[in-house]
Amino acid sequence: MEIVPGIHQVDGVNGNCYIIVKDTLTIIDTGLPHNSAKIVNYITEILKRKPSDIKTIVLTHAHIDHTGNVYDLKKISNADVAIHEADADYLAGKKHPPLPKSLFAMIVKIMGLFFKVRSVEPDIQLKNGDTLAGMTCIHTPGHTPGSICLFDPSSQVMFVGDLLRFDGEKIEGAPQQFTVDAAEAQRSIKKIVARDFAIMLSGHGLPLKPDASSKVREYAESLSEQA
């Protein structure tokens, strides 16, 4: 559904997948594996566009619930795949992502039995401050070394990946067992609230609006008080 004018979310892919609709299509995150048909159907049936209109697929980080369909989507669209340089080797299958806790290591092993993720060599390795598809890349490490947020000035949307989420009532960080460095993630939250943004769209959960940046600022201050 269209959640913000010009920004759609594909339901049911387990990990929020956003499509920015302009002359070309930009996809932000792709959900868990085996959902590429849902994303393609959305593009053809709802948007009445062609898969080849996908110009860019940006991944907020290299976890399987975000990268699961990037191989298939790239194959049918020939889109450029972009990820921060610090997560690029995980996507390319050259390194395994760091595992923060043994529980997480176990979950990853179990998921590996169900999901074979094909590695993808990224076309674009992002750095902090880069512009891509009209959005600014903000490096927000912690959850993974190469986690990013993307700020779209035209819609005033901040895409935050797994840095933050909103469940309809409260703002939270990603679960600690999935986060490599929680202290660094907290510093990254402080980094994004240096900007004003109206809407926060995250990797899991619901859109936070309006005045998203002031709500996130309040959350960041509550973290400082706990520290």
The contact set with Zn ion (CB under 5 A) reads 63, 65, 162, 203
Residue 60, classed as helix, strand or coil, is: coil
Return the DSSP state at 161: E
User: What tokens appear for 68 in the block?
Assistant: 């699961």
For residue 179, the minimal CB distance to Zn ion (Å) is 8
Question: Which residue's CB is nearer to Zn ion, number 53 or number 59?
Answer: 59
Question: Which residue's CB is nearer to Zn ion, number 65 or number 130?
Answer: 65
For residue 174, the minimal CB distance to Zn ion (Å) is 6
For residue 146, the minimal CB distance to Zn ion (Å) is 11
Question: Which residue's CB is nearer to Zn ion, number 53 or number 159?
Answer: 159
Query: With contact defined as beta carbons under 8 Å apart, do 18 and 6 qualify?
Result: no
**Nearest to 82, CA basis, from 25, 128, 121:** 121
**How many residues appear in the chain?**
227
Residue 124, classed as helix, strand or coil, is: strand
Q: What are the Cα distances from residue 23, in Å, to 20, 56, 84?
A: 10, 12, 25
**Whole-angstrom Cα distance, residue 224 to residue 176?**
17
Helix and strand numbers, DSSP H then E, in the chain: 7, 14
For residue 147, the minimal CB distance to Zn ion (Å) is 8
For residue 5, the minimal CB distance to Zn ion (Å) is 25
Question: Which residue's CB is nearer to Zn ion, number 40 or number 64?
Answer: 64
Task: Please identify the residue of the shown chain whose CB is closest to the bound Zn ion.
Answer: 63
Query: With contact defined as beta carbons under 8 Å apart, do 62 and 98 qualify?
Result: no
Question: Which residue's CB is nearer to Zn ion, number 53 or number 179?
Answer: 179
Question: Which residue's CB is nearer to Zn ion, number 130 or number 162?
Answer: 162
For residue 200, the minimal CB distance to Zn ion (Å) is 15
Query: With contact defined as beta carbons under 8 Å apart, do 14 and 26 qualify?
Result: no
Alpha-helical segments (H) within 50-150:
64-67, 70-77, 85-91, 102-114
For residue 154, the minimal CB distance to Zn ion (Å) is 25
Question: Which residue's CB is nearer to Zn ion, number 53 or number 61?
Answer: 61
